[in-house]
Structure 1
């Protein structure tokens, strides 16, 4: 049987559930963009904490609309004739629906999170990885294979199910317990891998990486820098005229607390702070990318500037 086919019962199929989520997150993105337009500098100043605002808005959105207070359907679910009910078929309380919404949107809040890999951030980095990849992959697995109910993690944890509002059949709770175990295994597996890799990276740093971490600390210590990352990259270009050429770059990505009056001068300053601790190889250029903006998880907006230097060690 096709796992994406919708049955004739009370439970919606893959595409209807996915479509409702896409529409709802698009609505949230528009709301987030409007907030960002009105309070850009305020959100940019919050740094990664702005994600908590996006998480709160998304949780309230799904929680309020999914509860009996607002009829048990988000705007997209109402459009696609879906509603959230308890396993007994009744509507759920606001508190229960908020918990459901929080579990649903948590991976969105962790998508693209920028955290420096330090011992202090180890727990946060591991949790973000598990939430984004572990919970996210488990949700996708359950959506495809946990038929016919397609109950996802937030449904399983809160005793709810999404049903077709235009059909009167009882919601039922049938669904493969094997699939639930597989989903749990996905989360646990990602948790073990993420924690292990993070701990190994911190305790077994090779010398070049240790130098990069030291340089990263020097850049992050500058008062105008909110956070930064460093990468040692190579770019291969093949053309009919010059054949194969390889360019090596030491790349610094810096997120600033305010937009500089002179972006080029600021990029040079950051580049010098980098090469003072981690000098580039003789054939390497230093690429400095600076950004100023925000990411709420549901919406983001950035100003950016990039400059390539070959003379920072002179």
Structure 2
């Protein structure tokens, strides 16, 4: 233990342990908020993550700063803290910037964009944030052993160190790490351009029309729809191929077990997406709940239908 504390730079697992403690604290706050504001969070939808992001930014931004000696409750428990290269704690604005760089890729993931035209403009920055940012953070956390700085530490010039240790000279970040991270950011920025032709396919346009039709039905809030193929291996080593259209339907009301309602949605799929009649199944998964980033609660139920049968159902 003494040898570990003599090291200025904090080890990987100590840092992860502190993060787990902080996550439990924030999760407890999220549970309490969800108990009182569940219906509000459900209405907000994917943007509810901004609530958790704001709470976490205040928590990490203030406590990792000089205001609390660079220590969250988790860091205090593990006797580590956030400092700059001079072993001095940082101010609140820099601490909040540090946390934002770390958290944005995780909180942006899963954001629900209802306006497709808006999504076409956001897909490039989203790709950079999600794929580039996520990879850079995880990669540097694991492989940058010289300084143990991840992306957010490198940008603002901070270190997570053992609180009782004296500052020591550290090796520089291996250049190959920086080259790999930069390359991933560049590829993430260009990636949407290579898949944009999918948006122009007739199948995609047809699925988009089906999605819009489903979105217009109450209490539907948001729908994600895919045309997929599933391969399964049977006991006699034969491969079984199942084709299906899957609609993931997020609801404003908890009616996930309502098969009649799911059947109505399946009928819309069959009538607006002609290719569905060539598939084995239409799967309608009804989903109710919320995700505020620091806590989530979901109820879901999958309903399966024969495309030909639902196509000829009469409307109520």
Is the pair's TM-score, using the shorter chain for normalization, greater than 0.5?
yes
Question: How far 1:119 sits from its partner (Å)?
Answer: 2.9
Aligned CA distance change for structure 1 residues 171 and 55 (closer, same or farther; 3 Å): farther
Match of 1:159 among 157, 160, 173: 157
Q: 2:98 and 2:285 mapped to 1: Cα distance?
A: 39
Q: 1:11 to 1:242 in 2, by over 3 A?
A: closer
2:111 match? 113
- Return 5+ residue gaps in structure 1 as ranges: 1-5
Deviations 1:67-95 (A, max 9, x none): 11122111221222210012222111111
| 1:124/1:283 CA distance change after superposition, 3 Å | closer
| Rounded Cα–Cα distance in structure 2 between residues aligned with 1:300 and 1:290 | 16
Identify which of 291, 302, 307 aligns with 1:306.
302
Alignment check: 8 A CA contact 1:249 1:286 kept: yes
Question: Any gaps of 5 or more consecutive residues in structure 2?
Answer: none
Which of 270, 280, 284 does residue 284 from structure 1 map onto? Answer: 280
1:24 to partner: Cα distance: 2.4
Partner of 2:181: 183
Q: TM-score, normalised by structure 1?
A: 0.87
Distance 1:127 1:18 in 2: 28
Alpha-carbon separation, structure 1, partners of 2:99 and 2:85: 17
> Partner residue of 2:193?
196
The two structures have a TM-score, normalised by structure 2, of: 0.87
Tell me how far apart the structure 2 counterparts of residues 134 and 236 of structure 1 sit (CA, whole Å): 31
- Counterpart contact for 2:45–2:112, Cα < 8 Å: no
1:245 and 1:143 mapped to 2: Cα distance? 41
Residue in structure 2 matched with residue 64 of structure 1 by the alignment:
62
CA gap 1:240/1:177 in 2 versus in 1, 3 angstroms: closer
Q: Aligned residue for 2:205?
A: 210
Superposition RMSD on alpha carbons, in Å?
2.6
Q: 1:160 and 1:173, CA in 2 relative to 1: closer, same or farther beyond 3 A?
A: farther
Rounded to whole Å, the distance in 2 between the matches of 1:85 and 1:96 is: 11
Ranges of 4+ aligned residues in structure 1 off by more than 6 Å = none
Residue pair 2:146, 2:170 contacting (<8 A) in 1 also: no
Matched, 1:220 2:215: yes
CA 1:138–1:261: 2 relative to 1, 3 Å: closer
1:22 Cα deviation from its structure 2 partner: 3.3
CA distance in 1, matches of 2:69, 2:117: 46
Question: CA 1:312–1:289 in structure 2 vs 1: closer, same or farther (change >3 Å)?
Answer: same
| Alignment partner of 1:239 is 2:231 | no
Count matched residues.
306
3-state SS in 1 of match to 2:286: strand
Q: Larger helix proportion, structure 1 or 2?
A: 2
Relative distance call for 1:117 and 1:207 in structure 2 (3 A) is: farther
Aligned 8 A contact 1:87 1:172 in 2: no
Q: Which residue of 292, 298, 301 corresponds with 1:296? A: 292
Determine the structure 1 residue equivalent to 2:28. 30
Q: Hey, what does 1:249 align to over in structure 2? A: 244
Per the alignment, do residues 28 and 201 of structure 1 end up closer, same or farther by CA in structure 2, a change over 3 Å counting?
Answer: farther
- Of 270, 274, 278, the residue aligned with 2:265 is 270
Cα deviation for residue 42 of structure 1 reads 0.8
For residue 16 of structure 1, give the secondary structure of its aligned residue in structure 2. helix
Change in Cα spacing, 1:197 to 1:297, as seen in structure 2 (3 Å) is farther
Q: Shift of residue 284 of structure 1?
A: 2.1
- Quickly say closer, same or farther: Cα 1:201–1:236, change in 2 above 3 A: closer
